[in-house]
């Protein structure tokens, strides 16, 4: 399939004009979600007292007096991802599984915001160094929510890659596979419980890569819709 062919497929989907306008707005949420998450997350990482990006995952930012910022970041961007996934399904060029699994990632983000990670590794200031001595219910649910969401994202990458492969879009297929593989490796490293600096940094970079893929996918779909 040639790049321009997506427009004709979208155009033949039979979406009424109001739905097309709404779909564009939902896709725009996907374009904005990644930059919003990264800017808010890393902005806090370099300004919150006691937070060290080389030792602390961004989830820990949900703790402390300013923790509401990261909680809101999780919830708002999660809602935006779900909106984007809904739009991707509406345009009917990706099949059902890719958008559905991307929506699972959005749900995972929302749950990760609702269930706050336990303070750990000296953050917020005054917290003992090392992992939590006991894991609270909300801390466990945060970990589980993140795991389900991340697995949904990884599976979504491969589902979209398969769809692109059938459409002869080799570049997008390779990009999706690479994103899924890299993120899976980084997630496996962080899930192992290792506190090594390079693992935490690698995971943080993989999160940025994954958000870049979501942004690129949303922008691609938005361009495919006829004006």
Give the confidence band of 12 by pLDDT, cuts at 50, 70, 90.
Answer: very low
For 119-134, what is the mean pLDDT? 90
Express the helix, strand and coil content of the chain in percent, nearest 5 each. Answer: 70, 0, 25
- Segments in 115-169 forming alpha helices (H): 137-166
Q: Give the residues across from 123 on adjacent strands.
A: 120
Q: What pLDDT digit, counting tens, does each position of 158-204 carry?
A: 999 999 999 999 999 999 999 999 999 999 988 876 668 888 899 99
Angle between helices 197-224 and 67-91 (to 10 degrees): 40
pLDDT value for 130? 84
Q: What pLDDT digit, counting tens, does each position of 29-59 carry?
A: 999 999 999 999 999 999 999 999 988 999 9
Q: Which two tokens stand for residue 86?
A: 């809904």
Q: What pLDDT digit, counting tens, does each position of 144-155 carry?
A: 999 999 999 999
pLDDT at 3 over 80: no
Three-state DSSP at 225 gives: coil
Confidence (pTM): 0.89
Q: What pLDDT digit, counting tens, does each position of 78-116 carry?
A: 999 999 999 999 888 898 999 999 999 999 999 999 999
Range 41-60 burial, b when 16+ CB lie within 10 A, else e: beebbeebeebebebbbbbb
**Residue position matching structure tokens 């995952």:** 57
Give the confidence band of 16 by pLDDT, cuts at 50, 70, 90.
Answer: low
Residues sharing a CB contact under 8 Å with residue 119, sequence separation 6 or more, in sequence order: 60, 63, 127, 132
Q: Give the residues across from 72 on adjacent strands.
A: none
Within 10 angstroms of residue 125's Cβ, the number of other Cβ atoms is 11
Cα dist from 145 to 81, 113, 124, whole Å: 15, 9, 22
| d(C-alpha 129, C-alpha 131), whole Å | 7
Q: What pLDDT digit, counting tens, does each position of 199-215 carry?
A: 889 999 999 999 999 99
């Amino acid at each position: 399939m040639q790049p321009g062919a997506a427009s004709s497929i979208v155009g033949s989907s039979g979406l009424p004009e109001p739905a097309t306008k709404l779909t564009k707005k939902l896709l725009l949420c996907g374009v904005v979600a990644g930059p919003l998450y990264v800017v808010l997350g890393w902005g806090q990482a370099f300004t919150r007292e006691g937070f060290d990006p080389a030792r602390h995952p961004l989830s820990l930012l949900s703790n402390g007096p300013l923790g509401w910022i990261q909680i809101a970041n999780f919830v708002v961007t999660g809602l935006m991802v779900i909106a984007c996934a809904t739009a991707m399904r509406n345009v009917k060029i990706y099949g059902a599984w890719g958008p559905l699994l991307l929506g699972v990632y959005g749900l995972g983000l929302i749950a990760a915001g609702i269930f706050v990670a336990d303070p750990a590794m000296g953050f917020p200031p005054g917290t003992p160094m090392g992992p939590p001595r006991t894991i609270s219910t909300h801390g466990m649910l945060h970990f589980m929510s993140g795991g389900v969401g991340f697995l949904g994202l990884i599976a979504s990458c491969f589902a979209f890659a398969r769809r692109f492969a059938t459409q002869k879009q080799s570049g997008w297929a390779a990009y999706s596979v690479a994103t899924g593989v890299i993120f899976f490796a980084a997630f496996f490293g962080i899930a192992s419980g290792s506190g090594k600096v390079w693992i935490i940094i690698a995971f943080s970079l993989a999160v940025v890569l994954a958000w870049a893929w979501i942004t690129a996918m949303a922008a691609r779909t938005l361009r495919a819709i006829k004006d």
